[in-house]
A and B are shown apart, each in its own frame.
Chain A
Amino acid sequence: MWKFLLQRLLLFIPTFLVISVITFVLIQAPPGDYINSYATQLEASGEEASEALLLALRKRYGLDQPVYIQYVKWLWGIFTRLDFGHSMQWNRPVGDLIWDRLAWTVLISFLTIIFTWILAFPIGIYSATHQYSGFDYSFTFLGFVGAGIPDFLLALVLMWLGFAFFGLDMGGLFSEAFRDAPWSWAKFVDMLKHLWVPVVVLSVSSTAGLIRTMRANLLDELRKPYVITARSKGMTEWHLVLKYPVRVALNPFISSIAYVLPQLVSGTTIISIVLSLPTTGPIQIRSLMSQDMYLAGSIFLLLASLTILGTFISDILLAVVDPRIRLE
């Protein structure tokens, strides 16, 4: 078991390096750089961008050096000082910009996963054990509706409903009064009042999907001979279902943790823009549009690391839950 964990942990390092290279190459792939798009911006606003100014800027940001030197410097900064480089657009260190936002992103994603599971597990289990019942049909219908509605539309409708009927401003994570206030109980309550909107919106489609998955997995398992064995031992039906088939049907869920995390993080982008949430999504889009390479690169790198982390967590959990995996 420990050998297995250590192996997985060591694999983390080469994977991270490969991802960082790919990220950097991808960021460099579009023609031109931040200075080009800066010059275009200056010209658009009627100012002249002199060759000398552009050259000086390139020198200052190290853009005149070869790509591999830029890459090595960037990576060295990350490893030695946790310095993700300088955002040219914001003129601030990337680290200052992303840590807060990353924390919010992870918090919202985490709450969404929890909320999704709390809803999807019982409904999926009930649907499978009562297949083709009224309850099952209702949730199948609701599930397809939920999966079909674009989440940004749902966000807009919720915001409009909140505003029209309750006079609430549900955008952002805090009301006007608390936005810059220090943390207090009242601010926390105010945050909860706002937080549920993105959590609900983000949960809807994944809950719908998860109910279907749980239902399908469990239906498969309920037909397995070991369920009949358990029944022939004289177990009560719910005890039996929870101990055996649900337990086995959980495995695919656990392996899905690996991609749920990055999916949610990138899935929040549109919702964050619609609900003006302080997550990584909005600045990621802006940094890509202005070719703010270190900011964009760092966000990608962190998202990729989250994926690796998710895979790692799901590997461990799977090994804990399923003895057949542990031994291989």
Chain B
Amino acid sequence: MDPGILIDIQHLHTNFYLREGVVKAVNGASLTIAKGRTLGVVGESGCGKSVTAQSILQIVPRPGRIESGDILLHIAEGDLDETINITDLNPGDPLMRDIRGSRISMIFQEPMTSFSPVHTVGNQLEETIKLHQPKSGDEAPARVLDMLRRVGIANPERNVEAYPHQLSGGMRQRAMIAMALMLEPSLLIADEPTTALDVTTEAQILALMRDMQSELHMAIMFITHDLGVIAEMADDVAVMYLGRVVEKAPVRAIFHSPKHPYLQALLESIPRIQKRTGARLQAIEGVVPNPLDVPPGCPFHLRCPDFMPGVCDEVVPPDVTVDEGHTVACHLYTE
């Protein structure tokens, strides 16, 4: 494995077994996360971006289950150099629990509901240390205070005793970040961390995440449906549609030379100030197909302006490399 790669996901399938049928939430997604860099994962609701993140931590809620595929985690620390295939582990495996919260941690969309309402912030932050370093003992409270200070929480001595509902939304998300970074993980998964915040607070949280990244040299998997945030945060981008990654590229290439018709349409649909007034907003034709009944071939062919009958609705397009680090899964680019 390339030593610069932290996470390598290959052909991941994560299914939800419902009474109505099987939802293939992640349907053969492949992507890589480089050490110390930010991968933006973008896509509309239900495209499988959150489930991909949950699969990395093996915390897919029931009735979901990782069906097949590999999630390779590369650990290199001093003399230690090994690769763990996360999909080989059980969700309850001690090694898996060891990875969660210490090597890979996660922050969520709703900082209010993501904290327990009946435990203090300090209690929940300290727990992360105690779970992974049971001998830490007396120094844990001091480390919590230090981390709260680093994420910019004013008056940490008082706020450590506060309950989540006593903090503002921005403060809660800062506390959530502090909890996730407590053990200096090599990957932080951020699942729409600013969706529930106002724009000013969003900008502060994004700045904080960048600061912490350069301080701790960690990789970030940033999940969002907001292309503006992607432009600001990401080094690399993976675009997902219906459980598949349809395009992967460095962030500049995503905005300057989008290849996949879905990504092109997505970028077209962003309203622009320069455009003449009175023009209708661009929307992508049609709707996302029912996830219980995914069409054969390319998942986007039903809505695609460049649809090629007999090809797109029959063969799943393979990943095609169009440029250095830029791949697209579309028949338009196959030889």
Contacts and interface: CB of A to CB of B under 8 A. Distances in A.
Interface in B213-254: none
Interface of B: 54, 57, 59, 61, 92, 97-102, 105-106, 108-110, 113-120, 127-128, 131-132, 163, 165-166, 176, 179
A248 B117 contact: yes
B118 A234 contact: no
Contact of B118 (A228, A233, A247, A327): A247
A237 interface: yes
Contacts of A323: 117-118, 120, 163, 165
Contact of A233 (B110, B127, B165): B127
Contacts of B105: 232-233
Contacts, number: 77
A236 B90 CA distance: 13
Interface size, A (range): 20 to 34
19 contacts: A223-B61, A225-B109, A226-B114, A228-B59, A228-B61, A229-B106, A229-B114, A231-B100, A232-B100, A232-B105, A233-B100, A233-B127, A233-B179, A234-B98, A234-B101, A234-B102, A235-B97, A247-B118, A248-B117
Contacts of A237: 92
Nearest to A248: B118
A286 to B, nearest CB: 47
Contact of B165 (A224, A231, A247, A324): A324
A229 B108 contact: yes
B61 A234 contact: no
Contacts of A232: 57, 59, 100-101, 105-106
Contact of A321 (B97, B118, B132): B118
A322 interface: yes
A27 interface: no
Given A226-B116, A229-B115, A247-B118, A234 B131 contact: yes
A244 interface: yes
Given A234-B97, A236-B97, 14 more contacts: A225-B110, A228-B59, A228-B108, A229-B176, A231-B100, A233-B100, A234-B128, A234-B132, A236-B92, A247-B118, A322-B118, A323-B165, A324-B117, A324-B163
A225 B117 CA distance: 11
Contact of A234 (B99, B109, B119, B163): B99
A25 B114 CA distance: 53
A97 to B, nearest CB: 45
A244 B97 contact: no
A111 interface: no
A244 B118 CA distance: 8
Most buried by B among A225, A243, A244, A324: A225
Contacts of A324: 117-118, 163, 165
A231 B114 CA distance: 11
B131 A225 contact: no
A324 B61 CA distance: 28
A247 B108 CA distance: 22
A230 B166 CA distance: 20
